[in-house]
């Protein structure tokens, strides 16, 4: 077997869980706690809505009741005494993992489970400085997750709870929140398979995946054929159990052909698209199932070596999925509906937009910002100068929009909502700000990082003009 | 001059015995009046908070719905913490005397830190006291069969699901500072909370408790 196939095979084996959702391996003797049936009588009256959701759920059908998930032991940090039972309000991935072991293992270390850690360095400067703790609780933490604190009186700290952020750090130290996508208390498969499950966080200026998907051919197909998606099926393999359209879950998590389903949502992603400059990423899998991405420019860590995790602790490298392997995995999904050449050409178009963004905007802007800080033209205080907002929006909002647009085929988001706005910011706002703060050094800085790029050759030909703007002879728009 | 003894009066009831009986009766009435008045007085907020340590318990009470209510109904300390019935009440006051003794010779409960550190045990024993009496003092005002509530299921819960339970099985932490139930109480977390609240160095709470 050629080595590339071996690698892909290893990746598949690692993440294998059979087609569709993994079977629960725990014996049914372990659930259906009789004491849990008493909860239902009172909660049918005190919180009828959630009890009805549960009553219609797959859990209720197989006899999983309130206590099966909520029972705690007295020494759990968040245990409370409730009607004579020791329970916890939060059902963490560790709790769900008692039955859903495969899914829990897969989501561990995923970009979802690590959603707090990935912005740990970004957050303080943004939300703490620009807004405050109230916005952190009701904004950032609702998607990324809070670090849930238990008060000494047994209650969950209201600054950190309620929260169903996907990377929530739970009182039992586990990370994640299954109910982020599988809304409590119905925990519907169908819900998690629909794009709507992702919209709460993957929408808006910085990650407009809802908007991008809706504006793509994939979104068009889903909107037209959402009733043919077989969303409630036990097995949900693309091309076999459904074929009308893909959803977010199809490409990022779903089973397709021989490719197994995974709850590591970022596993098939090659690029980091929400950074000042995108880079292709290795996915390092640790012996205990944890994961971390490393940029391709670094040598891939060797199997058996030790490398730091995102939180700084050392991890034993069990396996490395290179960017090419990850791309192969994603392409297997595409191939259920598209030919090989088609898929490769699409990926080329996508990568082309990311490369262009990097070369023309991301890298120059980052280099200029670093120069302005190192020469003392800017204070190190984040967001106290207008150019810092221009740079932030360039990559975090506008640049991310263009790159996500290319990743998921929304022409509008690639250009008018994306790279056009990047360019407008870069030439119309960022560079004038550079001139304003860099003083004498501005010309040299801009010449080095901007004018000398082949992509900016047009800046050296003012004589060319444009009739669009009134230079030269105005001609018919269709000419 | 001699008076005829009434026919119904037994022979041993002499004039002296009669006087003694009347006197004893008056004394008895006096004692009962005293006990009733004593209970009334010693059940008031003013009396209880004459110890500074109790003032600390009264601060959250004065923000609670048992103190502040739209209808003006207000429960005093004794309404909840002293049993109904004069004999039971007298007994409770007698037992409650241990609090006075502790106040005088025990830890410095007037110190807000010491008070907060000991509060959980006080809460646990108060809850046991309520449970042992089937929440008798709650039932002075709250008639379980009459609870309707504002939400649709409240009445049914109190009619059907609360059978076999007592008020404090569900309703705790209504008046005073919130304390978990004994089984899930974490002393370490409580001590750290007190240290943070009063700006003490780490471990200070444990030392204070050991003293």
Asked if B82 and B93 count as a contact pair (C-beta separation under 8 A), the reply is yes
Choose among A234, A308, A214: nearest CA to A21.
A234
Compute the count of residue pairs across chains A and B with CB atoms less than 8 Å apart. 59
Choose among A128, A127, A166, A129: nearest CA to A146.
A166
Q: Is residue B189 part of a domain?
A: yes
- pTM of this prediction? 0.88
Please list, in sequence order, all residues whose beta carbon lies within 8 angstroms of the beta carbon of residue A157, skipping any fewer than 6 positions away.
A148, A149, A150, A151
Please list, in sequence order, all residues whose beta carbon lies within 8 angstroms of the beta carbon of residue A4, skipping any fewer than 6 positions away.
A324, A325, A328
Asked if A276 and A403 count as a contact pair (C-beta separation under 8 A), the reply is no
Q: Is residue A272 part of a domain?
A: no
pLDDT at A13: 47
Number of alpha carbons in the 13 Å side-chain half-sphere of residue A377: 20
pLDDT at A24: 76
Q: Which residues pair with A321 in a beta bridge?
A: A283
Q: pLDDT category, A12, cuts 50, 70, 90?
A: low
Q: Is residue A156 part of a domain?
A: no
Neighbour-count burial for A64-76, b at 16+ CB within 10 Å, e otherwise = bbbbbbbbbeeeb
Question: How confident is the prediction for chain A on average, in pLDDT?
Answer: 91
Distance CA B175, CA B47 (A): 18
Neighbour-count burial for A367-396, b at 16+ CB within 10 Å, e otherwise = ebbebbeeeebbeeebeebebbbbbbbbbb
pLDDT at A476: 55
Is it the case that residue A479 has pLDDT exceeding 60? no
Q: Is residue B135 part of a domain?
A: yes
pLDDT at A19: 40
Q: Is residue A177 part of a domain?
A: no
Within 8 A of A45 by CB-CB distance, chain B residues are 152-154, 156-157, 161
**Mean pLDDT, residues A342-360 taken together:** 98
Q: Is residue B109 part of a domain?
A: yes
Q: A80 — contact with chain B (CB < 8 Å)?
A: yes
Within 8 A of B179 by CB-CB distance, chain A residues are 153-154
Q: Is residue B113 part of a domain?
A: yes
The number of domains in chain A is: 2
Q: Is residue A450 part of a domain?
A: yes
- State the smallest CA–CA distance between residue B163 and chain A in angstroms: 11
Q: pLDDT category, B117, cuts 50, 70, 90?
A: very high
Within 8 A of B117 by CB-CB distance, chain A residues are none
Neighbour-count burial for A243-256, b at 16+ CB within 10 Å, e otherwise = bebbbbbbbbbbbb
Please list, in sequence order, all residues whose beta carbon lies within 8 angstroms of the beta carbon of residue A36, skipping any fewer than 6 positions away.
A65, A66, A67, A68, A71
Q: A77 — contact with chain B (CB < 8 Å)?
A: yes
Token digits of residue A265: 């949502």
Distance CA A245, CA A347 (A): 19
Please list, in sequence order, all residues whose beta carbon lies within 8 angstroms of the beta carbon of residue B78, skipping any fewer than 6 positions away.
B39, B42, B43, B44, B48, B89
Q: Is residue B92 part of a domain?
A: yes
Weakest mean pLDDT among A23-32, A293-302, B50-59, B94-103: A23-32
Tell me, what DSSP letter sits at residue A118? G
Q: Is residue B158 part of a domain?
A: yes
The residue segments making up the domain with residue A69 are: 23-90
- State whether the Cα torsion A304-A308-A314-A318 is positive or negative: negative
Q: B178 — contact with chain A (CB < 8 Å)?
A: yes
Q: Is residue A51 part of a domain?
A: yes
Question: How confident is the prediction for chain B on average, in pLDDT?
Answer: 93
* Cβ separation A77–B186 shorter than 8 A: yes
**Mean pLDDT, residues A91-114 taken together:** 94
The secondary structure of A60-115, three-state, reads HHHCCCHHHHHECCCCCCCCEEECCEEECCCCCHHHHCCCCHHHHHHHCCCCCCCC
Q: Summarize pLDDT for A228-266 with one digit per residue, the tens.
A: 999 999 999 999 999 999 999 999 999 999 999 999 999
Token digits of residue A85: 């039972």
A residues 99-138 lying closer than 8 A (beta carbon) to B: none
CA angle B160, B161, B167 (to 5 degrees): 110
Q: Summarize pLDDT for A46-59 with one digit per residue, the tens.
A: 999 999 999 999 99
Q: Is residue A360 part of a domain?
A: yes
**Mean pLDDT, residues A72-79 taken together:** 95
Token digits of residue B22: 């009347």
Weakest mean pLDDT among A20-24, A100-104, A302-306, B21-25: A20-24
Where residue B174 sits, what CATH number does that domain have? 1.10.3820.10
Q: Is residue B136 part of a domain?
A: yes
CA-to-CA separations, B13 to A12, A94, A232, A247, B10, in angstroms, rounded: 108, 84, 95, 103, 6
Q: Is residue A145 part of a domain?
A: no
The residue segments making up the domain with residue B153 are: 15-210
Largest CA distance in chain B: 90
Choose among A269, A246, A259, A251: nearest CA to A111.
A269
pLDDT at A388: 96
* Cβ separation B169–A84 shorter than 8 A: yes
The number of domains in chain B is: 1
Number of alpha carbons in the 13 Å side-chain half-sphere of residue A31: 21
**Mean pLDDT, residues A421-434 taken together:** 98
DSSP string covering B105-149? HSS-TTSHHHHHHHHHHHHHHHHHHHHHTTTTTGGGT--GGG---
Within 8 A of A49 by CB-CB distance, chain B residues are none
């Amino acid at each position: 077997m050629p080595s590339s196939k071996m690698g892909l095979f290893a990746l598949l084996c690692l993440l294998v869980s059979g087609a569709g959702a993994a079977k629960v391996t725990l014996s049914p003797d372990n659930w259906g706690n009789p004491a849990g049936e008493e909860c239902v009588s009172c909660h049918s009256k005190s919180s009828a809505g959630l009890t009805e959701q549960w009553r219609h759920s797959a859990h209720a059908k197989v006899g999983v009741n309130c206590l099966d998930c909520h029972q705690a032991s007295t020494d759990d940090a968040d245990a409370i005494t409730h009607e004579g039972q020791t329970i916890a309000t939060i059902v963490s991935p560790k709790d769900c993992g008692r039955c859903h072991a495969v899914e829990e293992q897969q989501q561990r270390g995923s970009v979802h489970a690590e959603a707090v850690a990935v912005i740990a360095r970004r957050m303080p400067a943004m939300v703490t400085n620009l807004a405050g703790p109230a916005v952190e609780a009701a904004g950032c933490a609702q998607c990324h997750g809070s670090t849930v604190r238990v008060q000494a009186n047994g209650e969950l700290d209201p600054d950190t709870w309620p929260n169903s952020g996907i990377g929530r750090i739970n009182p039992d130290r586990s990370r994640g929140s299954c109910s982020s996508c599988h809304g409590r208390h119905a925990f519907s498969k169908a819900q998690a398979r629909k794009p709507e499950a992702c919209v709460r966080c993957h929408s808006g200026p910085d990650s407009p995946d809802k908007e991008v998907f809706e504006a793509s051919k994939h979104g068009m197909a889903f909107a037209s054929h959402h009733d043919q998606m077989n969303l409630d099926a036990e097995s949900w393999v693309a091309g076999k159990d459904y074929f009308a359209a893909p959803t977010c879950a199809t490409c990022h998590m779903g089973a397709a052909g021989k490719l197994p389903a995974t709850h590591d949502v970022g596993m098939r992603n090659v690029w980091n698209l929400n950074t000042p400059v995108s880079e292709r990423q290795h996915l390092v899998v640790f012996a205990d199932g944890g994961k971390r991405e490393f940029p391709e420019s670094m040598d891939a860590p060797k199997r058996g070596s030790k490398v730091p995790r995102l939180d700084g602790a050392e991890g034993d490298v069990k396996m490395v999925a290179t960017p090419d392997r990850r791309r192969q995995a994603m392409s297997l999904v595409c191939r259920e509906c598209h030919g090989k050449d088609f898929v490769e050409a699409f990926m080329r178009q996508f990568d082309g937009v990311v490369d262009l963004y990097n070369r023309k905007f991301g890298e120059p802007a980052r280099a200029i910002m670093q120069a302005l800080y190192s020469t003392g033209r800017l204070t190190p205080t984040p967001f106290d100068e207008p150019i810092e907002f221009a740079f932030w929006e360039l990559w975090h909002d506008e640049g991310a929009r263009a790159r996500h647009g290319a990743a998921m085929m929304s022409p509008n988001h690639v250009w008018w909502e994306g790279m056009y706005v990047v360019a407008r910011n870069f030439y119309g706002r960022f560079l004038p700000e550079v001139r304003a703060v860099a003083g004498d050094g501005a010309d040299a800085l801009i010449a080095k990082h901007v004018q000398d790029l082949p992509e900016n050759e047009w800046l050296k030909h003012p004589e060319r003009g444009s009739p669009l703007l009134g230079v030269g002879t105005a001609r018919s728009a269709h000419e | 001059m001699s008076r005829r003894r009434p026919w119904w009066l037994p022979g041993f009831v002499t004039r002296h015995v009669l006087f003694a009986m009347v006197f004893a009766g008056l004394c008895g009435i006096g004692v009962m009046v005293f006990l009733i008045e004593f209970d009334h007085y010693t059940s008031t907020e003013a009396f209880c908070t004459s110890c500074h340590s109790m003032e600390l318990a009264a601060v959250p009470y004065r923000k609670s719905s048992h103190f502040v209510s739209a209808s003006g109904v207000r429960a005093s300390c004794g309404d909840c913490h002293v049993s109904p019935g004069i004999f039971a009440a007298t007994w409770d006051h007698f037992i409650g005397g241990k609090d006075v003794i502790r106040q005088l010779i025990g830890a410095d409960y007037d110190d807000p830190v010491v008070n907060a550190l000991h509060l959980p045990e006080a809460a646990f024993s108060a809850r046991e006291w309520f449970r042992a009496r089937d929440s008798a003092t709650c039932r002075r005002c709250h008639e379980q069969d009459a609870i309707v509530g504002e939400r649709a299921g409240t009445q049914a819960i109190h009619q059907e699901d609360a059978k076999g339970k007592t008020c404090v099985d569900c309703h705790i932490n209504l008046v005073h500072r919130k304390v978990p139930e004994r089984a899930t109480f974490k002393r370490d977390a409580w001590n750290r909370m007190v240290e943070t609240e009063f700006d003490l160095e780490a471990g200070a709470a444990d030392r204070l408790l050991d003293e």
